[in-house]
Structure 1
Amino acid sequence: MKIIISGGTGFIGRALSSYWRQQGHEITIITRGKPKQDSSSHPNNEAHRQATPLAYLTWEQLQNPSSREMEVDAVVNLAGATLNQRWTGKAKNRILASRLQATDLTAKWVQSLNSKPQVVIQGSAVGIYGTSLTETFDEASQPKANDFLASVTRQWEAAANEGFQGIRLVKLRTGVVLGNTGGAYPLMRLPILLGAGGKIGAGNQWVPWIHINDIVALIDFCIMHPEVEGIINAVSPNPVTNDDFGRIVSRVHRRPYWFPLPAFMLRAMLGEMSALLLAGQRVMPQAALQYGFCFRLPELESAVADLKKRH
């Protein structure tokens, strides 16, 4: 297959492109500029030597009329500024604008293609549901929250709904993606590895998580199964509380778990962005399970042990 990834140089995008190239698919990354060196190339790794070449396409090249001739089977749109920055006014504008602009540019290019792709996988997030200690959310839940993350995600999905009309659209609402090379997990794990692990705030906030290999497999599943459409929660079927999360990571790494981080201290350090760690939601992947997707690492302990082995 010929697959385009917008946001392909990010944490999830790199894992996707690496997996698909080893499967023999032709992958093109939409980026601001081609990297000087392909970070996914490892000449001493037999799997990567056998992988298909990775191509790049700049946003400026998308405006070229010749790009309309491209043959594309699937598009994955994950582009957007990272949430892992202090949420100043400028940062909030950048987080929202980057997502809307990338979605708009990608959608206009897709609609201009002489031959449309079969499917678009659109990035989203479970933050759209808002936070709760008691509610359980699935794809049928109606988002009602008006906090920053919910607002950004709602506008992001709306832009995709409008831009990709007439094409099978999967909106992938991701939770905390666990991997060694990016995302929030390396920072979440660090205090534990340093022997200063403990619950964050009250510790009873939910962590909707998923292993990086499972989100890659889920995206692949969504592309390969034409019946999959609409909202898909990209989370493990076994969410845990923050306290349980820390205890499990500590147990796997054989580190002490004794040093709680008070909520007021985290708010002082991170400002509004502290909501990423202090608030959460219990989210279930009901749609993925109903479509028949099988999680490879559905339990946190086995997922953490797998990452420890690969670290």
Structure 2
Amino acid sequence: MTRSQKEIDVLLDQMIEDAEDALDQAFAERLKDILNQISGMYEKYSRRGELTISDLNRFNRFQEEMKQIVEMTDSLYDQVEQMIAILMETTYLENYLRSAFIYEYAAQVEMGFTAPTAAIIQRAIINPIAELTLPAFMEIHRNEIVRNIRIEITQGLLAGEDYSKMAKRIENRVNFSRNKARRVARTEAGRVQSVSRLDAAEVAGKFTKIQKVWSATLDMHTRSTHRHLDGQKADSEGYFHSSGARARAPHLFGIPSQDINCRCSVLFTVGGIMPEVRRSRKDDGKTQVIPYQTYNEWFRGLKSA
């Protein structure tokens, strides 16, 4: 059963990668719009190819230009928030139903699973910490990029930079924000992945005895606080413990340093049977199938090789 769950994880990870590609495209298109706006500023207000802060401040020009950039950014983040929300909803539904199928198959018991309603999905995917909800994240990131673009334009003008240097400043800022959006998408999708599997397991647990196990990614990028959790079973209350904190599954500590960009997942076993094989990832990104072993066992093998 755990092998089937890992196959679901591969599917879900591909969904996240596809969403990240779509986010990249959205940011690239909006960056082009913003750079066109700034190029127009140089064409309209510069004198002999030079644009100064005093030139742009005349007749409230700077505020008018920034107003249009803010509108572009607002539109971008509305789109980004919608894209991530769709990813979360799809992740929940796909993982819940696919997990339900393998639980029933493994136990050979009809468990009465039904497709969750839109209301159930929405309640399940909302982060219980108000400051960490998707709208809250997007509002912070939206305000941050607008503030940073304003700073870069002002500093570029004060330095007497031409358009090409200004464009590079803005590109760096937008790309930085793009990477943060990708991180939010992966983190939130990972959290929903855990929630949906827990919800399905709660139903299955009424029909068969299952055990919750932490599964980390076997590569050198797994954070040290999660390496020791790999292969461990949850305690009697259903929690995993790391660095004085506890969580019902990966992504659910409610602590940024534990949850952001986490690539671990939760697996459920029937009868305590663990998989015979698992995948490890090499430095070049390629994976290989190896006999099942925990992260610590795998790491010791690397050191002794």
Higher RCO (C-alpha 8 Å, min separation 6): 2
Task: Return the structure number with greater helix share.
Answer: 2
Task: Return the structure number with greater strand share.
Answer: 1
| TM-score by shorter chain over 0.5 | no
